Amino acid sequence: MRNPTTIEPVPGRTDEMIINMGPQHPATHGVLKVVIGLDGERITRAVPHIGFLHRNHEKIEEARTYTQIISYTDRMDYVSGLQNELPFILAVEDLLGVEVPPRAKLIRTIFFELFRIASHLVWLGTGMLDLGAITPFLYTFRDREKILEITEKTAGARMLPNYFTFGGVRRDVHPDFFKDVAAFLDFFETRLPDYYALVLDSPVFQARAVGVGVLSKERAIARGASGPVIRASGVPYDVRKAEPYDAYPELEFEIPTREEGDVYARFWVRFREMEESVKIIRQALEKVPKTGPYKGKVPPRVKPKPGARYRAVEIARGHLGAYVVSDGSEYPARIKHRSPSFANLQLIPDLFVGARFADAIAILSSLDPVFGEVDR
Amino acid sequence: MSRMPLPTERLVQPRLVGYDPTRPKPWLERIAYALFFSALWVMVVLAYGVVPTVFRHYGWLKSPLGFAAYAVIEAVLAFLLAAVVALILIVVLRKYLGKVQERVGPMHYGPAGVFQTVFDALKLLGKEDFAPRRVDWLIFRLAPAIVFVSAFLLMVAIPVAPGWLIADLDVGLLYIVAVSTLGAYGVVLGGLSQGNKWGLLGAFRAGAQLVSYEVPLAIALLSVGVYAGSLRFVDIVEHQYGLWHVVPLFLSFIVYLVASIAELKATPFDLPEAESEIVAGYNTEYSGMSFAFFFLAEFVELFLLPGFMVLLFFGGWHGPLFGLDPTSFAAGLLQSFYFLVKVAVWVWIFLWIRATLPRFRDDQLMDLAWKGLLPLSLVGLLVAALFRMFLEVL
Amino acid sequence: MSLFAEVWDAVKAVAAGLETVHRRVKQPPATEFYPYKKPEIPPVSVQFLALIQNEDGTDRCVACLQCERVCPSQVITIERKRNPEGKGFVLERFDLDFANCMHCANCVEACPVSAIVTVGEFEHAVYDINFLKADKAFLDHIGHEAKIWYSPKFGVEMRTPEGKIVKAPPEMQPGGLAELLKEAEGGEGA
Amino acid sequence: MTELRYKKTTEFDEEVYAVHPEDYRALLEALKAEGFDYPRSLTGMDTGYGLRVVVHLYGIESGKKATVFTDVPYDDPVVPSVTDLWPGLEWFEREAFDLVGIRFAGHPDLRRILLEEDWTIHPLQKRYDTGGYPLPDWQPAPWPETPPWEEPQASEEGGEA
Total of domains in chain C: 1
CB within 8 Å of chain A, chain D residues 68-87: 86-87
pLDDT bucket at B3, cuts 50 / 70 / 90: low
Q: Is the pLDDT of residue B329 over 80?
A: no
What average pLDDT does chain C have?
A: 82
Q: Which of A68, A153, A160 sits opposite C106 (nearest CB)?
A: A68
Give B253→chain A minimum CA distance, Å. 21
pLDDT tens-digit profile of B209-242? Answer: 888 888 888 888 888 888 888 888 888 888 888 7
Which residues is D58 bridged to in the sheet? D38, D65
Strand-strand pairing, C148-151 and C116-119: antiparallel
Evaluate whether C28 touches C83 at the Cβ level (below 8 Å): no
Q: Is the pLDDT of residue B10 over 80?
A: no
Q: Where are the beta strands (DSSP E) in B40-167?
A: 159-161, 164-165
Q: Hey, are the CB atoms on A172 and C174 less than 8 Å from each other?
A: yes
SS3 label, residue B160: strand
Q: Which of D37, D63, D114 sits opposite A54 (nearest CB)?
A: D114
Average pLDDT score over residue span A246-265: 88
Query: CA dist C133 to A151, A229, B3, C130, Å?
Result: 28, 45, 6, 6
Q: Packing angle between helix B137-154 and helix B288-313, nearest 10 degrees?
A: 30
Helices marked H in B194-249: 197-228, 233-239
Q: D104 is in which domain, residue-wise? A: 6-138
- In chain C, the residue whose alpha carbon lies closest to the alpha carbon of B16 is C36
Read off the CATH number of the domain in which D50 is found.
3.30.460.80
Percent of chain B residues topping a pLDDT of 70: 95
Percent of chain D residues topping a pLDDT of 90: 0
Whether the ω angle into residue A23 lies within 30 degrees of 0, i.e. cis, is yes
For residue D58, tell me if it sits in a domain.
yes
Q: Is the pLDDT of residue C128 over 80?
A: no
Predicted local distance difference test score (pLDDT) of residue A1:
39
Predicted local distance difference test score (pLDDT) of residue A183:
92
Burial bucket for residue B123 (CB in 10 Å: 0-12, 13-18, 19+): exposed
For residue D149, tell me if it sits in a domain.
no
Predicted local distance difference test score (pLDDT) of residue B13:
62
Percent of chain A residues topping a pLDDT of 70: 98
Predicted local distance difference test score (pLDDT) of residue D161:
40
Give C19→chain A minimum CA distance, Å. 9
The residue among A339 and A13 whose pLDDT is bigger is A339
Q: Is the pLDDT of residue B108 over 80?
A: no
pLDDT tens-digit profile of C63-98? Answer: 888 888 888 888 888 888 888 887 788 888 888 888
For residue D114, tell me if it sits in a domain.
yes
For residue D117, tell me if it sits in a domain.
yes
Average pLDDT score over residue span A338-345: 89
What average pLDDT does chain B have?
A: 83
Predicted local distance difference test score (pLDDT) of residue D1:
47
Q: Is the pLDDT of residue A5 over 70?
A: no
The residue among C59 and A363 whose pLDDT is bigger is A363
What average pLDDT does chain A have?
A: 87
Q: Hey, are the CB atoms on A203 and C46 less than 8 Å from each other?
A: no
Q: Is the pLDDT of residue A375 over 80?
A: yes
Given the cut 0.90, state whether the ipTM is greater than it: no
Q: Which of B100, B270, B362 sits opposite A132 (nearest CB)?
A: B270
Q: Which of A307, A338, A345 sits opposite D158 (nearest CB)?
A: A307
CATH of domain A57-375: 1.10.645.10
For residue D147, tell me if it sits in a domain.
no
For residue C42, tell me if it sits in a domain.
no
Give C166→chain B minimum CA distance, Å. 25
pLDDT tens-digit profile of B28-76? Answer: 878 888 888 888 888 888 888 788 888 877 877 788 888 888 888 888 8
Evaluate whether B138 touches B288 at the Cβ level (below 8 Å): no
Predicted local distance difference test score (pLDDT) of residue C189:
44
Read off the CATH number of the domain in which C82 is found.
3.30.70.3270
Domain extents for chain A?
A: 57-375
Q: Hey, are the CB atoms on A132 and B274 less than 8 Å from each other?
A: yes
pLDDT tens-digit profile of D88-119? Answer: 888 898 888 888 889 888 888 888 888 888 88
pLDDT bucket at D159, cuts 50 / 70 / 90: very low
The residue among C124 and C166 whose pLDDT is bigger is C166
pLDDT bucket at D143, cuts 50 / 70 / 90: confident
For residue D98, tell me if it sits in a domain.
yes
Q: What are the backbone angles phi and psi of residue A43, rounded to the nearest 5°?
A: -90, 125
For residue C109, tell me if it sits in a domain.
yes
Percent of chain D residues topping a pLDDT of 70: 93
For residue C32, tell me if it sits in a domain.
no
Total of domains in chain D: 1
pLDDT bucket at A295, cuts 50 / 70 / 90: confident
Average pLDDT score over residue span B282-299: 84
Query: CA dist A13 to A16, A42, A44, Å?
Result: 7, 15, 12
Average pLDDT score over residue span B359-369: 86
Q: C89 is in which domain, residue-wise? A: 48-172
> Chains with 3 or more CB pairs closer than 8 angstroms to B?
A, C
Instruction: Give chain C positions within 8 Å (CB) of A137.
Output: none
